[in-house]
Amino acid sequence: MRSPRSSSFENDHEESFFVSMTDMMVGMIFMFIIMLMFFALKFNDDSSDLRQEKDRLAQQNILLKEEKRRLNEQLLLLQGAVHARDNLVENVYRSLKAQGVNVMIDIDNGILRLPESILFPVNKAELTPDGNVAVRKLASALSRVLPCYSQLDGEARPADCPANAFGLEALLVEGHTDSDGREDLNWRLSMERALHTYHVLTSEQPLLTHLFRWVSDDEKDTNGTKYPLLSVAGYGMTRPIALNDTQENKNKNRRIDLRFIMSPPAKVEINAAKRMVQ
């Protein structure tokens, strides 16, 4: 039989045990609540970081799309400029071929090529009679098409010009020789031939001296300088189109090139250019 004192001790011990357990459970719940709050705050921070990263990626995607659009627009403009130059060169080429002038064309580089055989005697800068006729026919062909791709001094653009948002930066009359002979003499010969060709062109069609580089409306407001469309260059033997190893190749290198260089389109021409390339 338990004594009352023993029974009281056991009851106190049990109560103390339950109190300790309760305190421990409360402590654990408290710790759980703290941990829950911590993870909730951490989750909120992570969600905020994810939203910021998502916004950053979205903004980056917008910038990439805008850059792609701008590059595509530039590509279209370049394609339009090349297309306009090709049409111009082919127009002059067909006109000369129809008149029996034996010229060649380098469409990739925008060049109309006149071989020495139809222009000059060997080592001479003066045109042969047949060469004189050929260059005068070239002058007439140029006078018909160039006003549509340049600024005509004191006159408006011809009304029958094709719809076009691109113009010429320059038309170079280039003289070239083969590698035979002294280098300094080849430089002089190439320049004299180019100059002589230029003088025959402009004497046959004085209009060509009144054509100026294509100037956009933007440039007109800030720059009153006019740049003549036609210019002359002599390259001697420095720009061969074939190896100077056979007589046939040397004949190819002795030539006059007309190099057509397009002006980059201005902002005001972009919309017209888009319509052309669509």
**Residue 201 and residue 135 in contact, taking contact as beta carbons nearer than 8 Å:** yes
What pLDDT, on a 0 to 100 scale, did the predictor assign at position 141?
A: 95
Does residue 55 belong to any structural domain of this protein? no
Q: What is the pLDDT of the chain when averaged over all its residues?
A: 80
Does residue 175 belong to any structural domain of this protein? yes
Sign for the CA dihedral angle at 190, 196, 200, 201 comes to positive
Does residue 59 belong to any structural domain of this protein? no
What pLDDT, on a 0 to 100 scale, did the predictor assign at position 35?
A: 76
Over residues 203-212, the pLDDT tens digits come to: 999 999 999 9
CA dist list (Å): 126 to 91, 148, 200, 217, 253: 27, 31, 10, 41, 18
What confidence tier does 176 reach under pLDDT thresholds 50, 70, 90? very high
For the cut 60, the answer to whether the pLDDT of residue 87 exceeds it is yes
Residues 6+ apart with CB under 8 A from 259: 109, 110, 111, 170, 171, 172, 174
Give the C-alpha separation, 238 to 176, whole Å.
8
Lowest mean pLDDT among 59-73, 99-113, 204-218, 225-239: 59-73
Lowest mean pLDDT among 36-50, 68-82, 197-211: 68-82
Indicate the Cα dihedral angle 15, 21, 24, 25, nearest 10°.
-120
Give the residue numbers spanning the domain of 196: 84-277
Does residue 62 belong to any structural domain of this protein? no
Does residue 257 belong to any structural domain of this protein? yes
Does residue 38 belong to any structural domain of this protein? no
Give the C-alpha separation, 134 to 104, whole Å.
13
What pLDDT, on a 0 to 100 scale, did the predictor assign at position 245?
A: 93
What pLDDT, on a 0 to 100 scale, did the predictor assign at position 272?
A: 54
Does residue 133 belong to any structural domain of this protein? yes
Query: Domains in the chain: how many in total?
Result: 1
Over residues 233-262, the pLDDT tens digits come to: 999 999 999 999 999 999 999 999 999 998
CATH number (domain holding residue 135): 3.30.1330.60
Does residue 129 belong to any structural domain of this protein? yes
**Residue 159 and residue 227 in contact, taking contact as beta carbons nearer than 8 Å:** no
For the cut 90, the answer to whether the pLDDT of residue 191 exceeds it is yes
